[in-house]
Chain A
């Protein structure tokens, strides 16, 4: 499959365990954050988003936590499954030079061990 990052931070967890993937963002004025999942050979896929006026949002088996004080975002995946193996990265929406832009992190490679 396609290699999306040769030197990404990696996280390995046992199938069925919970995983937490972290992301530090750069712009304190960013108002909206997104987590993406990218499987080998595919394009990024939207997982969950959160606005800056929230500190937690839950989806199906996923939870995003936002800590604006330290500019930190995390994605928690409950009861991981083999299909969760992928690269996960966050994006922040920021106003840059008068235009709203999405700024992407490099990602974390999550591996689920059977």
Chain B
């Protein structure tokens, strides 16, 4: 089954304690993204990756890091989480955005609370 998995699904942590949210896809997609979803703001892109070892900033990259060492995995790292990073996070993968027909698969989401 084609899917994007994220772990953990729920996380409560404290300010400053480094954390990693993992993302994995089994569709051999080149393009992967991280989004955060906040009430009234919709989905906002944090980082994206066009392929292995190729990453770039999205609209709201501050406070986040990513890596893409393998095609299937795209972890999101918060080196020093702060309360304003409390949000619902989604990982997504897809064929290349420039293709005529573009279907993006989203993971189930990670609800992060930073106290």
Contact = CB atoms under 8 A, between A and B. Distances in A.
Interface stretch (B12-20, B69-77, B104-112): B104-112
Interface stretch (A3-11, A12-20, A66-74, A75-83): A3-11
Contacts of A104: 42-44
A93 B102 contact: yes
Interface in B60-107: 88, 90, 92, 97-98, 100-107
Instruction: Please classify how large the interface on chain A is, using the bins under 10, 10 to 19, 20 to 34, 35 or more.
Output: 20 to 34
Contact of B97 (A2, A4, A89, A100): A100
B37 interface: yes
Contacts, number: 61
B98 A100 contact: yes
A75 B44 CA distance: 22
Contacts of A7: 39-40
Given A5-B42, A43-B4, A102-B45, 13 more contacts: A3-B39, A4-B39, A5-B39, A5-B40, A6-B39, A6-B40, A34-B104, A42-B109, A43-B109, A44-B106, A93-B102, A100-B98, A104-B44
